[in-house]
Amino acid sequence: MKNNKYRHLLILSIANADFVKKYKRKDLLSQDLNGYFKKVHYVFLVEKPFKPCTEKIDDTYTILYLSNKRFAWLQRGKLRHLNTALSLVYNLLYLRRYTAKNSISVLFAQEPFIRGSLAYAISKITGKPYVVEVCSNFKNKHWEEGRLELPILKTVDREKRLLRFTLLHANGVMADRDNYWNDGIIPHELGDRYFRYHFSMEEAHYSPPGNRVNLKPNYSSINKKVVLYIGRLIQEKRSEDLSLIAEELFSNNDLPDTVMWIVGDGPLKQYLKEEIRKHALSDKVLFIESQPTAMVADFLSTADVVIAPHAGWVIPECQLAETPLVVYDFEWHKEGVADGKYGVLVPYRDAKAMANAAKDVLLHPDKYKPMMKEARQWVLQNNTLDREVADKLKIYKTVLGE
């Protein structure tokens, strides 16, 4: 196998630089894969004018900052578009030199549009292979509603063509769920260049539920049952349905010792608060600000049932907490709960069905305990750091011909 002295990875990252520095050894965003790569270079595109600069984290990790608005004198009016175009060309030329100077072995784009296009261009110029990660179902998230991930492209058709182009020319395409493949977001012409990897979560979520902190006393809910929503309050998460779910939950007054916690922030928060007040449910629904990851694990284990209209990693995080969850039959949810084996599926956007399913969990908790104990074991068998590292090693070894 090729000596790792010569293996350097360049990541065109969508993450936050502070997050990478904080968790570089933990290891959600650390990409050295237990020493497979000798050097890892993160590239961040920032929306303010400055010259390219680097920051060394340690002997393995370096961060390169590039500006999407490189030229301060082109910041006004329509000239800002020229600034973006010139900055793109400048960054491409800079990355070509950077790739050669730092002996980059492979490029990794954490999204298929801007960073995927950059990876394709650098790959064509330098001959280095590139891998793209698909991390969103653009069909369900945007296209079916006529919205774009990149509004500058003007039409859905152009965005689809750009996505298809960057993926079909990649040496490898990875995703943390098969939904993107099954839904046709990832072109099937890729064949064995498509790789499904199993992701891991942050350490706090793996702690046994019995070792976590019960947060009910913190929110005056010691003797109450808690229905929990935790996540961003945005339209893409279908969080506008939360007021309808709350209305259904408490409509018959058959849950006297139950409260609903809405944990998170976003543009829909004020709307939801107004709807809750309108339906006289302010004494039943508590709004709590966004929480750090370690606290999220405690919230999930504290809850008696979790509702997730549009869930991401909340599904396996809930399963690790052994807390029953109810999700819409939407996007990857069926995959995430093993077709209803490790969670409850209800019809998409059916708020009444979600509320009734949550009620059933609250009224018959013993029915769901075995399901969620099995769910935790299922996640522990599939979604650990060791499994993620092994899956990604296989991808890079294949791409690099090892």
Query: Rounded to the nearest 10 degrees, how much is the dihedral formed by the CA atoms of 317, 292, 197, 316?
Result: 10
The interaxial angle of helices 79-101 and 114-126, nearest 10 deg, is 50
Give the architecture-level CATH label for domain 203-382: 3-Layer(aba) Sandwich (3.40)
The encoded tokens of residue 310 equal 């549009």
Report the length, in residues, of the chain. Answer: 402
Helix (H) or strand (E) holding 307: strand 305-308
Domain with CATH 3.40.50.2000 in the chain: 4-200+384-399, 203-382
Query: Rounded to the nearest 10 degrees, how much is the dihedral formed by the CA atoms of 299, 301, 305, 311?
Result: 70
pLDDT at 15: 83
Task: Identify the bridge partners of residue 133 per DSSP, sorted by sequence position.
Answer: 174
Whole-angstrom distance, CA of residue 86 vs CA of residue 72:
12
pLDDT at 245: 97
Taking only the tens of pLDDT, the chain with its 402 residues reads: 456 678 999 999 988 888 777 766 454 456 889 899 999 999 999 888 889 999 998 888 999 999 888 887 766 776 677 777 888 888 999 999 999 999 999 999 999 998 999 999 999 999 999 999 998 888 776 777 767 666 666 787 888 899 999 999 999 999 999 999 999 999 999 999 999 999 998 889 999 999 999 999 999 999 999 999 999 999 889 999 999 999 999 998 889 899 999 999 999 999 999 999 999 999 999 999 999 878 999 999 999 999 999 998 999 999 999 999 999 999 899 999 999 999 999 999 999 999 999 999 999 999 999 999 999 999 999 999 899 999 999 999 999 998
pLDDT at 30: 67
- Dihedral sign from CA coordinates of 31, 33, 34, 38: negative
Q: Which residue has the tokens 């007040």?
A: 277
pLDDT at 48: 86
Query: Rounded to the nearest 10 degrees, how much is the dihedral formed by the CA atoms of 223, 337, 354, 297?
Result: 30
CB-based contacts of 378, cutoff 8 Å, min separation 6: 319, 338, 342
> Do residues 46 and 135 make contact, with C-beta atoms less than 8 angstroms apart?
no
The encoded tokens of residue 115 equal 């960073």
The encoded tokens of residue 297 equal 């694990």
- The string over 278-297, giving b where at least 16 C-beta atoms fall within 10 Å of a residue's C-beta and e elsewhere, is ebebeebbbbbeeeeeebbb
CB-based contacts of 144, cutoff 8 Å, min separation 6: none
Closest-CA residue to 38 (of 106, 127, 110, 121): 106
Amino acid at 74: L
Q: How far is CA 351 from CA 261, 328, 346, 354, in A?
A: 16, 9, 9, 5
> 265: buried, middle or exposed (CB in 10 Å: 19+, 13-18, 0-12)?
middle
pLDDT at 20: 79
Catalogue the long-range contacts made by 241-245 (C-beta closer than 8 Å, 24 or more residues apart).
Answer: 241/309, 241/349, 241/351, 241/354, 242/272, 242/307, 242/309, 243/271, 243/272, 243/275, 243/276, 243/279, 244/351, 244/352, 245/307, 245/309, 245/351, 245/354, 245/355, 245/358
> Do residues 227 and 259 make contact, with C-beta atoms less than 8 angstroms apart?
yes
> 261: buried, middle or exposed (CB in 10 Å: 19+, 13-18, 0-12)?
buried
Q: Which residue has the tokens 């839904």?
A: 183
pLDDT at 18: 83
Closest-CA residue to 66 (of 39, 98, 24): 98
The CATH label, of 3.30.450.20, 3.65.10.10, 2.130.10.10, 3.40.50.2000, for the domain at 4-200+384-399 is 3.40.50.2000
pLDDT at 153: 65
Amino acid at 257: D
Q: Which residue has the tokens 């004198």?
A: 73
Helix (H) or strand (E) holding 155: none
Whole-angstrom distance, CA of residue 64 vs CA of residue 54:
4
pLDDT at 290: 94
Q: Which residue has the tokens 């493949």?
A: 181
Whole-angstrom distance, CA of residue 31 vs CA of residue 237:
28
pLDDT at 24: 60
Q: Which residue has the tokens 């077709």?
A: 339
